[in-house]
Structure 1
Amino acid sequence: MSTKNKHSLGFNAIMNMVLTSSSVIFPLITVPYVSRTLNPAGMGAVSFAQSIVTYFSLVAMLGISTYGVRACAQVRDDERELAHVVQELLIILAVSTTIVFAIYLVALAVVPRFSEDRPLFLIFGIALWLASFGVEWFYQAIEQYGYIAIRSIAVKLIGLILMFILVQNVRDYRIYGAIVVFTGYGANILNMLRLHRLVRFRPWKELNIRRHFKPMRSFFVSSISSGMYAQAEMVLLGFLAPNNIVGIYQLVAKIKNMLVMAINSVVNVMLPRLSYYASNAHDKYRDLLIKNIGFVLLFASAGIAVATFNARSIIDILGGDQYQAAATPFLLILPALLFVSLNTVLSQYLISSGREEQYAIVNFIGLISSIIYCLILIPLYGAAGAALSCSLCELTALIIRCIYARDFLRRIIPHIQLWQAPVSAIIAGLLTVLVTKPWIPDNPILHILVTCLIFVCFYFGGLSLTRENITISITERIWQLLRIKRTH
């Protein structure tokens, strides 16, 4: 596939922001409806089943969701070799998914917690196959973010319509589970149908499957570890607490994930380009990572501040009266927004620089620490303990990643503005609360709109006064466009 067909990072970032926006907007529409319709117990049952299947899917994928991006990106200019890589990885996935699915069926028969609602778990079992053969890693590697965004939004729209038609009461939680599978993985069917137009498959005798086993080991361990520790609190909460408590926490986790996706919308499109720059342009590689960290600090600081003084309003809109107990867990999980996003950037560095073993070790330690935190805190504090476990786990992983990347961080930290965004966000948040507290409307939607508008003004002012680089760059760009328009 020729490089001339590749879009710029700016286009990819815009398309990924469109995709991310849809991943945020659609839950904003669906979550309030299904939360009230299914109540915490129904939502908890679906979330627990989804988390369990995610664990099995991580094993079936063997780390290819990450390894495949790098392996395909490195050979994307060689059509023949790219076809070999894609075909070899698909064969590996076919074998691994068959084995894992058989184990999954056995687990449904012997684990009491699973057999309580076997039909729901069987519905989610379909996701195992759809996840494995979605080849999302291939489309990311060749940077087809326009296609990814369009087909994902189309599937979400269909799922949205189905949800409002078919999910009418508490008993429809299994139907909702099926819709979750469709919206999450239905686009993968389109991926496979389209694949033959982009990749010309080769005879079996030309394939060399074994060459992937060694480099995949680190990605396998790291993907399983990172995926499992990202879901550990949900899974352990499902075993240690009833469905209604799981339902309370799943709302918190959903909001956190939406905010993380919004923050990482620009960061995530950088990995294929980072893998390319790591071998071909070291200066661009360093500059891109510095820019990533700047974006994370800018958006994560704002996200945490806004979510903090709007916590109860957000819970009220998305969950309603049944979920008011989610306010405290929500506040406890907010620090994870910054930790997760910084972990994403440092993970990109470790992967793109060929340090997969260290990447794997960090994720494995993160999984172990998550289990320890959860086993200590969940029995004591329930959903709040799960939220605190999430934040502590991400902080632990961040510290270890910083230790592994310390030599590189020493070189780039002088070029990163570390304090401007957090300090501006704290000051802007305090000023927003002081200004709005005497007269802020009780309506939660108005509360969020008014406080966000005032916060953005204070935050932008603080960033401008502290000469934050990204803010100054965007401001100068806007002024240039305005001057051009005036001259015409």
Structure 2
Amino acid sequence: MAGNKKIAKNYIFNTSYQLLAIIVPLVTTPYISRVLGAEGIGINSYTYSIVSYFVIFSILGTATYGNRQIGILQDDPVSRTQKFWDILTLRILTSGSALILYLCYALLFAKHKSIALLQTFYLLATLCDTAWFFQGMEDFRRIAVRNYAIKLLNVAGIFLLIHNPDDLWKYVLMFTGLNFVGNLSIIPYLRKYLVRVKGYKPQPFNDIIVVLQLFIPATALWLYEMFDKTMIGVITQSAAQNGYYEQSNKIIKMALILVTALNTVLLPKSSKAFAEGKLGEMKEYLYQSYRFVWFLGVPLMCGVIGTESVLVPVFFGKGYEPVITVLCIMSLLFIPISLNSTSSAQFFISTGRQNIYTRCVLIGGGVNILLNALLIPHFQANGAGIASVTGETVIMACMLWYMGKNGHIKVSEVFRISPKYLIAGGVMLLCLLFAARYLPLRVWSLAALIIGGAAIYFAVLLVEKEYFVVTGIHHAVYFAKKRRAKK
């Protein structure tokens, strides 16, 4: 019971931590879309896609590896301190190298030089990022509080300082600079967990093979998104098409965090359970997480499709009509990405099967890039969306095939639990599509659709006596009775 409470608490903290990193742009999107326009959004998207290649190299595989190793060593102060300095030293070396290379690119070759230089702060933020350590220690509160403060400043700054397309540089500086400041702000709290280890010299290259094994799939996954944006820009020569894709991607990424945040919480737990030989406990985490994917992934997918005709005009304003089709296509990403995130974090990475994970991701990445080249010339941003959905589905098939073939899970169990959620999601979708036809394009209409859709979905699940809903009601009744007894 105590373990479940801690998981729930850390899930809430981690969800808010991840969500705030994306929700701020979404909160300000109706304003920013109108002020900067599709052209400005596209320039930001393109320059960010370029700096992201360098950020990937600077991170290497240290974030995931650090989370896993600190989770395993969290009860050993000396070992976790040594491992922290090993990983941080490697991060400083890779980030410093990436920073020098990026500055050479920005100064000599960048198309939008001033904006590209402002994106440098993302690399500085990566250099001093220690969030992976706090995640491994299961201290998600620290990171969440940091983000609340920084992101609220971000929102205030946008409405106070961004007023016309010429303020694009302020917009970019706001996000990159505050990201850097946010990472600096949690460094002092490391003292709570680190101890003095006399005579120890960091050994950053001790586990470089494992780090690189994690780097390759992480890179491929990130490159999906970055290649999409870069190839849209290169093939279509249209910043507006990049803007359409970027806005669709923002909505999908924000919603996905609600599902995938649980994996960051359970990665150190699954790693520790595997290291201690508690395979039954690890498998239980895995199956419950798959159930959670269907529980939240289906309504998010159906909800986006059902509300997009109202959501896009309300959020983005005039000129963003093409986003509706792109968003409909990309909503199909919810299930495969969420299942892939669960399989990778709680099985492949936790059990040290990075090589298999890498192969699955590279196969899907190859499919994604090939389809981008074939589809973007004909369908532009829509083609990039189709390529991403297909690539993620291929990864999902490869991962589940390996796990099922080797007897680690029963693949049928992963899908056997889905009908309840698909039925509830289908009912919700039909109701949303019907209601959206008659509602005006207003904020209150969007709010009504979201609240009404959620109510319909959970009502159907209650009729079906779904596990999470029934368990949640039982817990609520139990705590209510407990409070009354205390009074």
Q: TM-score range by the shorter chain?
A: over 0.9
Measured in 2, the distance between the counterparts of 1:411 and 1:166 equals 52
Measured in 2, the distance between the counterparts of 1:127 and 1:84 equals 27
Q: Given the alignment of the two structures, is residue 171 of structure 1 paired with residue 163 of structure 2, yes or no?
A: no
Q: Given the alignment of the two structures, is residue 126 of structure 1 paired with residue 121 of structure 2, yes or no?
A: yes
Cα 1:103–1:20 shift into 2, 3 Å: closer
Q: Match for residue 261 of structure 2?
A: 265
Among 352, 361, 380, which residue is 2:359 paired with?
361
Deviates more, 1:202-211 or 1:233-242: 202-211
Q: Given the alignment of the two structures, is residue 149 of structure 1 paired with residue 144 of structure 2, yes or no?
A: yes
Cα RMSD after superposing both structures: 2.4
Q: Match for residue 297 of structure 2?
A: 300
Cα 1:30–1:183 shift into 2, 3 Å: farther
- Aligned ranges 1:174-185 → 2 under 5 Å: 174-185=169-180
Measured in 2, the distance between the counterparts of 1:340 and 1:381 equals 23
Measured in 2, the distance between the counterparts of 1:108 and 1:432 equals 46
Q: CA deviation at 1:483?
A: 4.0
Q: Match for residue 335 of structure 2?
A: 338
Native 8 Å contact 2:329 2:386 kept in 1: yes
Q: Match for residue 317 of structure 2?
A: 320
SS of 2:205's partner is helix
Native 8 Å contact 1:294 1:416 kept in 2: no
Native 8 Å contact 1:44 1:247 kept in 2: yes
Cα 1:239–1:194 shift into 2, 3 Å: farther
Deviates more, 1:231-240 or 1:131-140: 231-240
State the Cα deviation string for residues 415-444 of structure 1 (Å, max 9, x = none): 96122112221123224444x367x42133
SS of 1:397's partner is helix
Q: CA deviation at 1:371?
A: 1.3
Q: Match for residue 35 of structure 1?
A: 33
Q: Name stretches of at least 5 consecutive residues in structure 2 with no aligned partner.
A: none
Q: Name stretches of at least 5 consecutive residues in structure 1 with no aligned partner.
A: none
Q: Match for residue 252 of structure 2?
A: 256
Q: CA deviation at 1:247?
A: 1.2
Q: Given the alignment of the two structures, is residue 423 of structure 1 paired with residue 411 of structure 2, yes or no?
A: no
Deviates more, 1:412-421 or 1:57-66: 412-421
Deviates more, 1:49-58 or 1:224-233: 224-233
Cα 1:468–1:83 shift into 2, 3 Å: same
The amino acid that maps onto 1:384 is N
Q: Match for residue 274 of structure 2?
A: 278
Measured in 1, the distance between the counterparts of 2:199 and 2:116 equals 36
State the Cα deviation string for residues 381-402 of structure 1 (Å, max 9, x = none): 1111122122112111111111
Q: Match for residue 408 of structure 2?
A: 408
Measured in 2, the distance between the counterparts of 1:27 and 1:303 equals 19
Cα 1:285–1:5 shift into 2, 3 Å: closer
Measured in 1, the distance between the counterparts of 2:20 and 2:414 equals 36
Cα 1:251–1:310 shift into 2, 3 Å: same
Q: Match for residue 380 of structure 1?
A: 378
Measured in 2, the distance between the counterparts of 1:22 and 1:52 equals 23
Native 8 Å contact 1:40 1:248 kept in 2: yes
Measured in 1, the distance between the counterparts of 2:470 and 2:50 equals 45
Q: Match for residue 226 of structure 1?
A: 221
Measured in 2, the distance between the counterparts of 1:324 and 1:10 equals 39
Q: CA deviation at 1:104?
A: 1.8
Aligned residues: 480
TM-score, scaled to structure 2: 0.92
Measured in 2, the distance between the counterparts of 1:331 and 1:411 equals 28
Among 14, 17, 26, which residue is 1:16 paired with?
14
Native 8 Å contact 1:7 1:143 kept in 2: no
Deviates more, 1:92-101 or 1:69-78: 92-101
SS of 2:474's partner is helix
Measured in 2, the distance between the counterparts of 1:76 and 1:146 equals 17
